[in-house]
Structures are given as C-alpha cells and as structure tokens.
Structure 1
C-alpha cells in the first residue's frame, strides 16, 4: 500500500551530513543512521533546491538499483534548476541501456573472477615490493602512501597499459579530482590534464597495441573519445575505491584489536573479513537515480522525474538485514552487501578489488605483527564527506622494527 504523507509519519532530512565522529570514521553520519531508524525512505531537498528522497533501507536501495524504471542518466538528474549535460562518451556509470551495455559488454570478460584470480601472483609481487620498501624505510610510515595507494595504482595501470613512468603523475591527477577538497579551477585543470593524457594513451594503443585491456578494446568499433571515457572510469574507480578500502580497512582493524587478533590467529577468515570490511565501511557512500515513471518504494510514491539519493552505507548497516550492524564482526556472513552496488551497474571491478584486498591485508598483517597507529585515532585525517569515496588522507603507523 502506498502511504500518503498524512497517513504515516514522514521523516525529513534537510541536508546530507558533512561530518563523522572523530577517531571513528567508520560509521555513517549520525543523521543518516537516525533517518534509517525512522524508516527506509525520507523526504530530502537536493542542494540545488529540488525536492527528492533519501533512501536508507537495504531492501529499498536494492530494489531501486534493480528497477529499470529508475535511470542512471546524468542528464536526467533533477537536482538543480538547469539542465545537466549527458555523460561524456564512454562514461557508462551515468548511462542507461542500450548505451550502458555498448560500453560495458566488451569489458565483462576482461574482469571475470577467474581472470582476476590469475592476477594473484602479480598482485602478491607488487604488494611485497611495497612492503619491502616500507620495512626498509623503517617506522613510522604513512600507510596510505606506502601501501594503500601504490598497490591498486600499479595493478590497474598495468591492466590498462599505462606506462610505468606515467603512474605517479596520473595518480596525482586522479587524487586531485577525487579528494573532495579541490577548488573548481584546479578540478577543471586536473580533469583536462587527465583527458589529454588519455587521448595520447589511446592514440598510442591504436598505433602500437600492447598486452593490456585498453589495447584489446581498440580492436572493436569504439571511437577514441569513447575509449578515453572508458579508461577514465576504469582507472579512477580501480585506483581510488580500492586504495581507500585498503587504508580505511587497515584503520578499522587497528581500532578493533579483538577482530584483528582473530584474523591474525586464523588467516582462513580472510575472505569473510574482506566481505565484512566492504559492508562495514561502504566507501562508495551513495549514488543517485531518477524515476522515469511514478514508482512505489518503501510504501512511498516516487513521482516521475524525481531524483533519489541511495545511501549505501546505511543500507549496509540496516538491522533488518544484518544483525548488530554497527559492529565489525569478521566471522559474519556478510554476503549480499551493497558495497559494489547491484543490478546492471554492479561494479565491474569487484573481483579485482577482492583479490587485491585479500592479498594486501594478509601480507601486511603477516609482515608487521606489531603494527599499530602512530598517532591517536582522533588525529587521523579523514576525507571530507564531499569526496565521492570515503577514506583517510593519511594513516600514520608504526611497529617494532
């Protein structure tokens, strides 16, 4: 039954919260948790003034992600008083079918679980090299720059064929437009520089293909501009999300010594631990969808043309889906979480991220059995909520050398 605003209480969220508790940035902001307590869906006004909805319940978020009556198209987002442009060619996260499928389909076979498992040995080598350098430099160390960033950066760059000498500058540009703190002028400059670099890279792959995903894609009917967009999505997502899962995940383990001890004592828990950290942290916090027609969600009528915000981090903390959801429990069966989304936009690189996390966490904990924070937890610098991906800026750690 669709409820009217007068027949049932209707919670309203005035604005998305901008802060998390210091020293424990793992929980969603308190206002979002409170909204979920009031029900799976709340009234919300977008920053541009347009009315919308905030969806915080697990079942409701999952249903919207699977419902073709909700659109991912950038140009249909009804959040400001002016029309937004369509997504650039190739940037399929902000597209619906059939355009989305045109770009995603050639990639699916390149990111299967089997193909990603075959990369395990190379990921182990990369991880070992990073930890060797970290150990040689001695404590203290910033786990973000020594461990969390270089591992996924090298992996995704090798997959796509980014030359080794270009990786540092490319990582810096991606950092600039993903960190949530860059001003508009610098943001545009970083985006432009990245697009110019990708244009040169695509041209080089067409002229001289090598053994990588981007070269393989040049064999199809995709234009250079489309290949640039696809490369941008894969590089940014493949680097930033996993880097923040590795750093924030390490922070969460260090803040939960009983869970860390359990994982050290029983490495067979690693797969479960990875899934639980994905659920618990939900670094990709939220996405938006726009109703193409009138749709009922969580007992509320979402009118056609209305844009909803899907809160992944509260959906993954929904007590109706996960018992004691705010506890980190590495023995939990956390399957079914929405950390990678759901539906046609289910994260293409989810299996790669899992392999990287399994390898990296296992190696880190084995190499440094006395690893601990080098500063009080409250002093760990956290990314602003404005960043698309949640994480920490720096994670100072030390160990008994």
Structure 2
C-alpha cells in the first residue's frame, strides 16, 4: 500500500465515511482508517435507521447544511442504485406554544420548506397511531424521510473505494505530527503514513491521542434506544406508509423521536429520548447493557403516547452522543496541528448532516472553500 496520500480520513463512522466519499471524488490519493471493523456497533453510526428533516426546530443556522445534505443523500442513492431513503414524511408534535412546534414552523417559513400545521382533531385523523391531546398541535413536513443508516454508510465507503480510495480497518491511529507541509500519521501497529492533510472524525474517541485541544468542549454520553412491537391487529398504523418519522415533546420537556421499521432486520418501531436518560461515559469497545432503571421508566411513557404499541421494549441498546456545551456541532481546523481538520460533538442530531459536513471537510482538506459558512460551528464560539 502507498504510504503517501493527499488526504487521510481517521474514523469511518458516518462522518468519516461521508468525508472519504467526498474526498475520493475530488482527489486521486486518499485513505480511510478505522480502529474497528467496517460494521462495528460501538460508536454513534450503527443501526438501521436515522431521521432526515429540514423544518428544524433547532434553528435556521442549520438550513444551508440541511439543504446541501438533502441533495447529497439523494445523489448517494442515485449513484449507488440502492434504496436508502424512505419517504415517510415527518411530524413534530407538542403543545401549541412548545419549542418543537414553534421552532419547526419558524424554520419551515424561513427556509420556504413545504409544511402543514394541524390542530389536534385533524392530527388524530392523519395519525391514528398517536394519542394527541386537545392542547397539542402538529407540524407536518412531507419532505422528511428515514435513512437506511448502516446501508447508507457502507454505500459511501463502497463508492469511495470505486473512486480510488483505500481503506484500512482494525488499526487505530495513535499519533499525529507535523511533517513538512503535511501530517505524519502513526498507527498502533506501527504503520506510518504521510498526508497532505488529515480529517479526524472519531466521534467519542476524538480527544484520545488525536485532538486533546477539544477535551474541554466535549462530553461523551451513553444514550439508550428502544424497539417496540405493535399490539396484535394494530400493525397497519405503524407501517412506513402510515407512520411518519416523528419528534414528540412532552409537557415536562422530554423530547422523544421515532422511526418506523424500514428494514427487515429491525422489524419493530424504534423510539428513544433525545434529551433524557443520558449517562456520561468513556467510549469503549464493549456492549454495555442499558440501565435497568431506564428500561423500567419507559413503558408508561410509551403506553401514554402510543396505546397501540406494546409497552415493554423488544430490545434496548446503547449508543453514544458526543455532546458539546450548546448541543451544536464542532467543525473546523485544528489550532494545534496544521493541515488537520475535524468534525465532532454532533450532540445526537448529526447523522442527517453527514454528507454536507463530509463535503465541507473534503473541500477544506484539499484547499478549497466550503460551499457554505461553517462559522456557527467553530470552536471559537466558546471563547
């Protein structure tokens, strides 16, 4: 294998896979390195499904990224000729004055995103699976969809390789050093590579050896995800044709999200808390079971919102959120090492942005400007 590359991408979760995919389309010599295998389930990118939405209650600063990501998700599906995007539409449910409803409407209006606002009585007709209270409203975004997550990530890696990229799995990078105008990359096995520039996208492991300058801005947390089976005879309301991706804000501020089953190896409805049940934790390579107290508190919540679902989850798994102080992204250029770029702290809502963030990192790594401003995601905002 060649020891010198234009760009080396370290960490091939969804952000690294997207970066390698975009790099491979822009330069001739690229390498992606990951500490584990191509389909490991210990980080933040595994699993069958993720949500894509543009009526983003979190704010209009994400709109340019979302618009670009939307185009690239559709390009990925087209060029790989795989069914990766499931057009379920999306609903965002809460009290009429809740942040999820008001924020989604505001962003949809500013971004000229097609949407409808339903009062509770209308929402019940459209959404028979949900228990929607009279004081609630629903924002419906027909253009939202579910992403076949693991398949999409592997599609990016496959297309990158078809475009000339190399990949190396099972060999983690332990040191980055300046080398001339580029970077010297040393792996645990003793391999040494040289790159004109490096992209670091190692998720909760990013501050281990590689980017200690980010340590004070990040906190990895374990977060559980659950799967629930429809009660006997109630399967149809939860089919991907009738059950949209959703966000549901409870009166106590708890924010649930969910996705219908879109692939056969995850046959049940996937639901989790976005902003509850989080446990600070160091990343590791073992499968840590979900805490029993979390599992026992979820059934009454599910039964109150989805009376046609069995309340006891069929399975529960942990994944990692790498949280920033303001729950937004960190994307930029290392201040400690020239020609090194990074994306991290996606705070549990970054997967949908991966093609756009990967494209921006690829452009920076080859000396071009990103097609949109990333200033809102700079580490400098914390200074």
TM-score (norm 2): 0.28
More strand by share: 2
More helix by share: 1
TM-score (norm 1): 0.28
